[in-house]
Chains A and B, each alone.
Chain A
């Protein structure tokens, strides 16, 4: 690996650009493939380049064999993202665990006393109203959204944006009763039954969690399950 190519790869990762490092396993030559550009040693073109970009879209690293080449495609996508709405007590362990699991986390709460640097050191915080914050964050297919306030004024606007986005996971804290009322409100707001059915509510896996940290484990467990089962469905 040429140090210059490694530096370029790391710069792209810091800029959160998706790219693939392609290694010819015979010659050792390497190429960086971006969605719209190619940099490096090995001439990659045609069907092979298309296959690399297909894998980049699917987040699928692996070996590709052709009659002339055996190449390794190493996909470096930006980190998964998690948007946590509600800088409440449960958010504190959830954010720390999600960071360890590799997520880029943003906490949204217009109540500045909750979403403070002191309570969430080193985490991206937004004090905007949840619908504005969510629209700005633009959840994509690599984003999980979890609402924790169980205050309809804050959770509902965030959920409406999340459910109309490609976010891979949408979860909402609250009891069955709370969730039933939420479903009624969201229906009244014009969301379809299919959109509302995407909500994981009550949020998290059923592991009889009690403490905030245990509830965070159950939420992160469910997010992981949804992420990995989806990857199996879309797999090679």
Chain B
């Protein structure tokens, strides 16, 4: 009696023949809503399960995940208020979070 994890869902989607990427919080600074190790699975249609923030950056992560599925390259995303708006999407809480996005091959 436990909920399916994001990576279980990723494996299921993959087995169904969909393209899949996994995003993982690898580092946090200051106040951030989800701890290191939190994950999201994203498929080629933009469907997602799990979360890497309180909802602030998931849209941007899905966008990058689509790129990752297209080119097969892993990427490191950096979200925060201190990065000179390199990303238009930031964390309202003032924290910073690094998210690693990788394709499931």
Contacts and interface: CB of A to CB of B under 8 A. Distances in A.
A61 B11 CA distance: 22
Contact of B27 (A2, A6, A63): A63
B2 A79 contact: yes
A174 to B, nearest CB: 28
A104 interface: yes
Interface string B84-105: 0000000000000000101111
Contact of A72 (B1, B5, B24, B105): B24
Given A3-B105, A28-B102, A10 B27 contact: no
Given A28-B74, A75-B37, A10 B8 contact: yes
B7 interface: yes
B49 interface: no
Interface residues of A, number: 25
Interface in B1-21: 1-3, 5, 7-8, 10-11, 14
Nearest to B37: A61
Interface in A8-28: 9-10, 13, 23, 25, 28
A102 B11 CA distance: 20
B74 A74 contact: no
B105 A2 contact: yes
Contacts of A88: none
Nearest to B1: A122
Interface string A26-63: 00100000000000000000000000000000000111
A145 to B, nearest CB: 19
A3 B14 contact: yes
Interface string A76-93: 000100000000000000
Nearest to B12: A10
B70 interface: no
Contacts of B37: 61, 74-75
B105 A1 contact: yes
A1 B2 contact: no
Max count, chain A CB within 10 A of own CB: residue among B1, B14, B27: B1
A7 B2 contact: no
Given A3-B11, A10-B7, A28-B74, A104 B2 contact: yes
Interface of A: 1-3, 6-7, 9-10, 13, 23, 25, 28, 61-63, 72, 74-75, 79, 99-100, 102, 104-105, 122-123
Q: Shortest 10 CB-CB distances between A and B: which pairs?
A: A61-B37, A122-B1, A28-B74, A72-B26, A61-B36, A1-B104, A1-B102, A99-B1, A63-B27, A6-B11
